């Protein structure tokens, strides 16, 4: 009668038309092709009129990518913590800020930026461990209470940091070999005498993007290719089953929280070197992490990457092309995502 065996899953054979995945694939290819054309050719005048200039456009894209890298670093810890422990840690921004301050102190004290970065990671990992043991273990299962406690912690932490480091803005100085601008092999304009003008871009930001990619891949490998990662993924799916199968769930929780907090601290130092360190950054990066993780999906590293890309690009493109309302765009994206697909792009429905 009706052949339901293979032809349904092989639409090409049936001539039925495309699957959703194939349609998305074609869209991505087209967009990529257009983008590559835009990058490497010289722009006609009408394009320059709409998009200000090739330099502005490419800079916005690159800035969006590098900002996405920074957001990914901050948000990856957040998404792990929520995915596993169902705990929305609203003190995550405070962890970022504390990491930045600690990194600054160590970098000043020793004179090496890398030591500052390492210090930011390690100290915050310990802080995360302490928070997990003292606070979250006692409040397990009560989402609202955990949220409220972390809000309280963030208020107190912000005020204490203000008391100790004051309201001054600190600049974490990047070492000489990381600063300055480099020329990228992309032509942005041709001068009237025929010489080409190449795109000049801050080197440090590319390093941020690179390190975000490296750490992202590392995290993905950790979650998907190691035993601990398997336990974490199992915990995301079904915490009780994981405990029942004999795994020391508290130990796993502690590792995850320490890792998440350490990543936030690392992001604090890295981000603080590009954009300075001042009170108020904690709220800003908390909101950014929230949006990234909501859009990307709780508990998913890939989701955090995708969310960070969307939000980073939206923010920078908004800043250049819609400076007045661009800043609202990020939150509108979050509201729309929560209203339509609350689990996010890569999240699994509850």
Partner 1 sequence: MTDVTLDPAVRRRQSRNWLEKAGIGHILLAFFLLIYPAMASDFFLTQIGGYSLVLGMIALSLMLLAGYGGMVSLAQITVAGAAGYVVAIFGENNSGVYGFGWPWWIYGPLAIMIASLMSAVIGWIAVRTEGIYTIMITLAVATACFYFAQQNYALFNGFPGYNGLRAPDAFGLNWRDPVPFYYLCLANAVVAYVAVLYGARSTFGLTLQAVRDNQRRMRAIGFNVTAHKVFAWWLAGLIAGAAGILLVWFNGRISPGTIAVGPSINILVIAIIGGLRHPIGPFLGAVIVVLMQTFAIDIVGAERFNTLIGLVFLVIVFISPDGILGLWERFKPQEGRDSWRSFKKAPNTDGNQGRNA
Partner 2 sequence: MNINRRTLLALALATGMSAPAFAVAQAESIKIGLLATFEGAFTVLGEDSERGALTAVDEFGGKVAGNDIEIVKGSSDASPDSAVRAARKLVEQDGVKVLIGPLSGDEGIAVKDYAKTQPDVTFLNGSSAAQDTTLRDPAENFFRFSTDGAQWMAGLGDYAFNEKGYQKVATVAEDYSFPYTQVFGFMAEFCKAGGTVPSKSWVPIGNKDYSSVIAAIPDDVDAIYVALGGADAVNFLSQYNDAGGQAPLIGGSITVDQTVLTAKGRMRDVLIGTPAAGPTADTNDAEAWTEFSAAYKKQDGAFPSPSLFAHAYYINMKAALLALDEVGGDLSDGGKKFREALSNLEFETPTGKVSLDENRNAIADMFLTEVSEADDGTLVNKLIKVTPQVNQTLGIPKDEFLALGAVSRENPSCP
Which residues would be at the binding site for partner 1 (CB under 8 A)?
86, 88, 142-145, 147-149, 151-153, 155-156, 158-160, 162-163, 283, 287, 290-291, 294, 324-325, 327-328, 331-332, 334-335, 338-339, 342
Residue 142 contact partner, candidates partner 2, partner 1, none, CB within 5 to 8 A by sort of partner? partner 1
- For partner 2, the binding residues (CB under 8 A) are 52-53, 55-56, 58-60, 63, 67, 162, 166-169, 171, 173, 179-181, 189, 197, 200-205, 274-276, 278-280, 284, 316, 319-320, 323-324, 326-327
Name the burial class of residue 119, with classes exposed (0-12), middle (13-18) and buried (19+) by CB atoms within 10 angstroms of its CB: buried
At closest approach, how far in Å is the CB of 334 from partner 1? Answer: 4
Residue 88 contact partner, candidates partner 1, partner 2, none, CB within 5 to 8 A by sort of partner? partner 1
Name the residue nearer to partner 2 (CB basis): 60 or 310: 60
Name the residue nearer to partner 1 (CB basis): 108 or 142: 142
The tokens 């699994």 sit on which residue?
A: 348
Name the residue nearer to partner 1 (CB basis): 74 or 208: 74
The dihedrals phi and psi of 172, each to the nearest 5 degrees, come to -85, 120
At closest approach, how far in Å is the CB of 190 from partner 1? Answer: 37
Residue 335 contact partner, candidates partner 1, partner 2, none, CB within 5 to 8 A by sort of partner? partner 1
Question: Could you tell me the CA-to-CA distances from 249 to 125, 172, 200, 243, 253 in Å, in that order?
Answer: 18, 38, 49, 6, 6
Asked if residue 123 lies in contact with residue 102, where contact means CB atoms within 8 angstroms, the answer is yes
Q: Which two tokens stand for residue 172?
A: 């974490």
Residues in contact with 93: Cβ distance below 8 Å, sequence separation at least 6, in sequence order = 154, 281, 282, 283, 284, 285, 286, 287, 289
The backbone region for 332, taken as left when phi is positive above 0, alpha when psi lies in -120 to 50, beta otherwise, is alpha
Residue 48 contact partner, candidates partner 2, partner 1, none, CB within 5 to 8 A by sort of partner? none
At closest approach, how far in Å is the CB of 298 from partner 1? Answer: 9
Which of helix, strand or coil describes residue 196?
A: strand
Name the residue nearer to partner 2 (CB basis): 57 or 136: 57
Residue 56 contact partner, candidates partner 1, partner 2, none, CB within 5 to 8 A by sort of partner? partner 2
Name the residue nearer to partner 1 (CB basis): 231 or 286: 286
Name the residue nearer to partner 1 (CB basis): 85 or 259: 85
Name the burial class of residue 166, with classes exposed (0-12), middle (13-18) and buried (19+) by CB atoms within 10 angstroms of its CB: exposed
Which of helix, strand or coil describes residue 199?
A: strand
Name the residue nearer to partner 2 (CB basis): 222 or 320: 320
Asked if residue 318 lies in contact with residue 329, where contact means CB atoms within 8 angstroms, the answer is yes
Residue 339 contact partner, candidates partner 2, partner 1, none, CB within 5 to 8 A by sort of partner? partner 1
At closest approach, how far in Å is the CB of 171 from partner 2? Answer: 5
Length of the chain in residues, anyone? 350
Name the residue nearer to partner 2 (CB basis): 229 or 279: 279
Residue 89 host element (H or E): none
Residue 233 contact partner, candidates partner 1, partner 2, none, CB within 5 to 8 A by sort of partner? none
At closest approach, how far in Å is the CB of 144 from partner 2? Answer: 23
Asked if residue 209 lies in contact with residue 66, where contact means CB atoms within 8 angstroms, the answer is yes
Asked if residue 81 lies in contact with residue 260, where contact means CB atoms within 8 angstroms, the answer is yes
Question: Could you tell me the CA-to-CA distances from 42 to 28, 114, 196 in Å, in that order?
Answer: 23, 40, 11
At closest approach, how far in Å is the CB of 189 from partner 1? Answer: 31
Residue 122 contact partner, candidates partner 2, partner 1, none, CB within 5 to 8 A by sort of partner? none
Cα dihedral 70, 72, 78, 80 in deg (nearest 10): -150
């Amino acid at each position: 009668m009706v052949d339901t065996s293979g032809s349904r899953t092989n639409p090409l054979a049936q001539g039925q038309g495309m699957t959703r995945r194939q349609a998305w694939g074609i869209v991505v290819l087209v967009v990529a092709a257009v983008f590559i054309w835009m990058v490497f050719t010289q722009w006609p005048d009408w394009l320059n009129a709409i998009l200000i200039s090739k330099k502005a456009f490419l800079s916005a894209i690159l800035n969006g990518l590098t900002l996405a890298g920074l957001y990914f670093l901050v948000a990856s810890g957040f998404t792990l913590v929520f995915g596993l422990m169902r705990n929305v840690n609203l003190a995550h921004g405070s962890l970022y800020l504390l990491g930045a301050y600690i990194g600054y102190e160590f970098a000043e004290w020793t004179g090496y930026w890398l030591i500052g970065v390492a210090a930011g990671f390690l100290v915050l990992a310990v802080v995360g461990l302490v928070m997990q043991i003292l606070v979250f273990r006692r409040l397990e299962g009560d989402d609202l209470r955990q949220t409220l406690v972390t809000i309280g912690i963030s208020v107190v932490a912000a005020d204490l940091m203000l008391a100790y480091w004051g309201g001054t803005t600190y600049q974490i100085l990047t070492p000489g070999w990381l600063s300055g601008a480099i020329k990228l092999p992309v032509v942005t304009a041709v001068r009237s005498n025929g010489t080409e003008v190449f795109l000049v871009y801050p080197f440090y930001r590319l390093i941020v993007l690179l390190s975000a990619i490296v750490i992202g891949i590392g995290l993905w490998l950790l979650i998907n290719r190691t035993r601990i990662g398997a336990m974490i993924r199992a915990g995301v799916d079904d915490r009780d089953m994981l405990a029942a199968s004999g795994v020391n769930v508290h130990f796993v929780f502690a590792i995850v929280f320490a890792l998440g907090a350490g990543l936030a601290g690392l992001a604090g130092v890295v981000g603080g070197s590009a954009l300075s360190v001042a009170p108020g950054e904690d709220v800003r990066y908390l909101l950014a992490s929230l949006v990234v993780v909501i859009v990307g999906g709780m508990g998913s590293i890939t989701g955090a990457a995708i969310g960070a890309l969307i939000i980073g690009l939206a923010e920078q493109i908004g800043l250049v092309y819609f400076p007045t309302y661009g800043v609202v765009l990020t939150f509108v994206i979050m509201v729309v995502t929560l209203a339509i697909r609350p689990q996010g792009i890569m999240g699994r429905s509850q």
